[in-house]
Structure 1
Amino acid sequence: MKSQLPCFIALGLLLSAATAMCEEMPKIVLDDLPLLFVDDSGIASRQGVIITLHRARTRAEPVMQPELPWEGSRIYVYGSVYYDEAAQSLSLWYMGHPDVDAQGNKPKVPGFRAGKGDMVLYATSKDGLAWQRPQLGLHSFQGSTANNIVFDMHSPSVLLDKRDPDPSRRYKMLGSLRGAYYAAVSADGINWKRFPDDRPVLKSSDNICLTQDPLTGEYLAYHRQPANKHGRSVSLSRSRDFQTWSEPELTFLADKDDHAWAKNADERTEVNNLSVYPHASGFIGLPTIFRVLGKDAEKTEVKPGQSPTDGIIEVQLITSADGLTWQRTDPRISLIPRGEPGSFDGGTILGVSSTCVHVKDETWIYYTALTTSHGAPIPPKMNAIGRAEWRRHGFVSLDAGQNGLVETRPLQLGGPALIINANAAGGEIRAALLEADGRPIEGYTAEDCEPLRENQTKWQVRWQASGSALPQGRPLKVRLQMRQSRLYSLSCGT
């Protein structure tokens, strides 16, 4: 791993705090998604704990870099990654950008439409580090189908939709082309077709992230709007059927604190894109914060492929209970630190995958890394893909001293056992179950609980009389007594 700044930053101290449960807040289902403690959206009260934000660990070398003609000199993880636990294999949809030839012409793929020339590419991996580019035989590039090209889109965001009863629409994609956003569907993630036809589903075009509301099943599209009085910003559009989308609502933009660094009139901060990940009580967002530099008087021309807008981009973390209104973390640190100058990610982190994956005891997010600032010429600018790593669900923790107490809002427990992800080595955590109104449940008190005194990402809670079986049929609260320990997440499972 690369050496870097300390990997965690305390966000604030709250020795005694209580947040009354709001009846109008949506219910929390603890099932496939964990409850993360990134904010108080899942917490009824807490005391004696601090919230700590953890920076990613990164690697000294990229996990993928351009090496094939249809990838050009730039590959991007404007795309998505999924982990198949049964097969113990990862699938990656990423983007290639073929270079122009000596005459200034960009190679074309028969059947692909005119646009930026970006291509959706597919790769697989067993360990998330060594990636294979299968020869799919689907599309011809310079006379050969021996490639991993699957579609033509810019910023392809892929959703594995387990709710849709139609198996031909198991995979869904949103991306941009020809000045608008288009949709596509696939049964296997490899063979794609336009959906519902060859018409755009949303206006304007650039970067987009597709996700799904875990409670309602609604599709959520976080897409960048053209620069306006806010500069680059992100809007949200919603859909129930993946065909008809709501008018964009402004969801996230730079504020006055983001602009505080600027010294000149033409310096500013913008939001380049936003990737959003749901959890049991809300959403976390990873926006890329773009500090746009002023015009350089010596920059008399922009070379082919060079962006006219220069500056440094970093990734931060934000949180939301509803996916529309976002809260900032304080301090606003880089969640994924850039590497040393001259390294593959030493210049800018352009964006992150639209999904994160959880493999054994770790959580991974893939990111697009630049060797230079955003607007540098090519060369020396090069793009590659890196991997940011955390402990499983380890973006944020609640850290307790001698007497910490955390009580959740009522949870609908969707599994047979309660799972705690925490580091209690040198301390302990005990769990109690309460009725939704706060009444204790006999046999499920903290005194009945077998304490966690280890560092575990998947510790199954047990009570002396009832074992690990959970009461069924109604929402319950979880109360955690903590001593010298660090709590990351709660989930249900086996």
Structure 2
Amino acid sequence: MDYKILFIDDHEINSSKGLKRIIHSGKKRNTPVLKADRPWEAINQMGGTVRKEGSLYRMWYDSWIENTKYNGYASLYAESNNGINWDKPILKKYKDFNGNLNNNIYLNRISLRRKTLSPPKNIEQDHNKNILYTPHLGEDKKYTMIAYDYAYTNFGPYDGYYLAYSKDGITWTDGPLEPVIPGHADVGWFMYDNKDKMFRGIVKAYLNIRGYSRRSVLWTESNDALDWTLPKPAIIPDKIDDLWSNGDPERFTQFYGMPIFRYNSIILGFVEDFRTTDGHRSRDGFTYPQLVSSRDGRKWERVGNRSPVIELGEPGSWDWGSVSIGNSIVIEKEEIKAYYTGRNDTHAHTTIDNEPVEGSIGVATWPIDRFVGLESKEFGTLEINESNPKTSLHINANANNGFIQVALYNNENNIEGFNIEDSIKITSDSLDHIVEWNTNSSLPKIPLKIKIHMQNAEIFSLWWS
């Protein structure tokens, strides 16, 4: 994969003028892609993982069930050929709360440990299941699951994050009988970073911040998913996050969780902004994701103006009360998909006109690399740090209403044939413009800086190939 210069942060930028960083909210479908339509489903949640393997999309998701027989999470599995229409295969692995074996339940940890097919216990077990692709651990550990358990029963000795392993993502074997990360509340998201060859995690904890006990997100890392570093704050709500409250003591911001994923040269997080509306009771409010970024998984930065990267729906719609993603980003050649939980209630289950609470799974999409762009309304300039050139320079940009021109130079010296006046203007919208100059000269094989002039245009990424 070519190394891309992304404009989500200033890491690759030497200088800029006349540009504004713009966050683009994902384009949502009007209706969910997966709803609760089986007897063993109730409130479906993206408390799990979506992967694309070859042409097959795979989803491990949760359904919260609350009735006279059962109160807890069911761990469910679905497949799709297009990422939109999903099938729920009959796995016949574990009985549901009615004793029915014909379902798509892929895990019941109590039954797994007791080697039975008994219906699930009335507990909250295996919450927020992260299914990580880890073939480097061996054939029997091709998939590693990291999930939280509340330890309300003898599942384990105490609450925390437990491991399980699988060769196919369907049939699981237990990891250690004790949690690899004790405690740290019930929302944790993990990844295996193929670039840095390590596991990374974000777990939730309550921190006292400016007079409130706030849900907060902490980073941790591991070489083997067994031994983790002491979790430390990744990012905390600051005073800007509380501006929406207008000084109302009943209103403040918390961070409910933060799914993370590698995106080429950067690590991105979707921090869940929980806008609490009932003060120290800390139960009610709205949740939606904002984009944050990191170069090392430890130090995290806010992006742009902190606008939602996936917006809440209009009041009364299926996802007006809460939008939250999971370990559920799928990066394809020309598109990014994010699968998310949409709910018609606030965190304390308040609905409009006392409608029944519903939770479904939707999808939001972006053109590749277009989470964030640098935009010039009039004329702007951008200078990129020195890099080693290859054969061609590519730009993902929209210049439909303006232009972009590119110059190359070394040690402040212009390169003959590659000045701004030699650059053929880019005046269209493309995910992959190839930069051209009016010259017969070949690119010099020396480190080069890139200078961009742009007007009424937006640039998203840049790379050599």
Structure 1 residues 256-405: aligned runs within 5 Å: 256-260=239-243, 261=245, 263-294=247-278, 309-329=283-303, 331-349=305-323, 351-376=324-349, 380-401=356-377, 403-405=379-381
Residue by residue, what CA displacement relative to the aligned partner does 1:318-362 show, whole Å, maximum 9, x if unpaired? 23333323333453323322212221011222x212242234533
The verdict on how the C-alpha distance between 1:140 and 1:464 changes in structure 2, with shifts beyond 3 A counting, is farther
CA distance in 1: counterparts of 2:218 and 2:31, whole angstroms: 34
State the match for 1:456 in structure 2: 430
Shift of 1:37: 0.8
CA distance in 2: counterparts of 1:78 and 1:268, whole angstroms: 25
Contact between 1:70 and 1:97, CA under 8 Å: does it hold in 2? no
The verdict on how the C-alpha distance between 1:171 and 1:352 changes in structure 2, with shifts beyond 3 A counting, is same
Amino acid in the other structure paired with 2:462: L
Shift of 1:426: 3.6
The verdict on how the C-alpha distance between 1:457 and 1:118 changes in structure 2, with shifts beyond 3 A counting, is same
State the match for 1:166 in structure 2: 138
What is the SS of the residue equivalent to 1:313?
strand
Give the number of aligned pairs: 431
Contact between 1:432 and 1:478, CA under 8 Å: does it hold in 2? yes
State the match for 2:199 in structure 1: 219
State the match for 2:162 in structure 1: 182
The verdict on how the C-alpha distance between 1:40 and 1:241 changes in structure 2, with shifts beyond 3 A counting, is same
Of residues 217, 222, 231 in structure 2, which corresponds to 1:248? 231
Of residues 169, 178, 184 in structure 2, which corresponds to 1:199? 178
What is the SS of the residue equivalent to 2:201?
strand
What is the SS of the residue equivalent to 1:117?
strand
Contact between 1:420 and 1:491, CA under 8 Å: does it hold in 2? yes
CA distance in 2: counterparts of 1:441 and 1:170, whole angstroms: 50
The answer as to 2:122 corresponding to 1:147 is no
Contact between 1:207 and 1:224, CA under 8 Å: does it hold in 2? yes
What is the SS of the residue equivalent to 2:241?
coil
CA distance in 1: counterparts of 2:420 and 2:334, whole angstroms: 26
What is the SS of the residue equivalent to 2:345?
coil
State the match for 1:26 in structure 2: none
CA distance in 2: counterparts of 1:174 and 1:120, whole angstroms: 13
What is the SS of the residue equivalent to 2:256?
strand
The alignment yields a C-alpha RMSD, in angstroms, of 3.3
TM-score normalised by structure 2 residue count? 0.81
Shift of 1:211: 2.1
State the match for 2:221 in structure 1: 238
Of residues 52, 56, 79 in structure 2, which corresponds to 1:83? 52
Amino acid in the other structure paired with 2:287: I
In structure 2, stretches of 5+ residues that fail to align are: 109-125, 152-158
The verdict on how the C-alpha distance between 1:64 and 1:450 changes in structure 2, with shifts beyond 3 A counting, is same
In structure 1, stretches of 5+ residues that fail to align are: 1-30, 107-115, 297-306
TM-score normalised by structure 1 residue count? 0.77
Amino acid in the other structure paired with 1:315: P
Amino acid in the other structure paired with 1:396: V
Contact between 1:450 and 1:461, CA under 8 Å: does it hold in 2? yes
Identity in percent: 29
Structure 1 residues 62-81: aligned runs within 5 Å: 62-71=32-41, 73-81=42-50
Contact between 2:321 and 2:345, CA under 8 Å: does it hold in 1? yes
Contact between 1:69 and 1:98, CA under 8 Å: does it hold in 2? no
Contact between 2:133 and 2:143, CA under 8 Å: does it hold in 1? yes
The verdict on how the C-alpha distance between 1:410 and 1:191 changes in structure 2, with shifts beyond 3 A counting, is farther
Shift of 1:94: 1.4
Higher helix share: 2
Contact between 1:262 and 1:268, CA under 8 Å: does it hold in 2? no
What is the SS of the residue equivalent to 1:356?
strand
What is the SS of the residue equivalent to 2:10?
coil
Shift of 1:224: 0.8
Shift of 1:236: 0.7
Contact between 1:232 and 1:253, CA under 8 Å: does it hold in 2? no
Of residues 394, 400, 406 in structure 1, which corresponds to 2:382? 406
What is the SS of the residue equivalent to 2:18?
strand
State the match for 1:92 in structure 2: 59
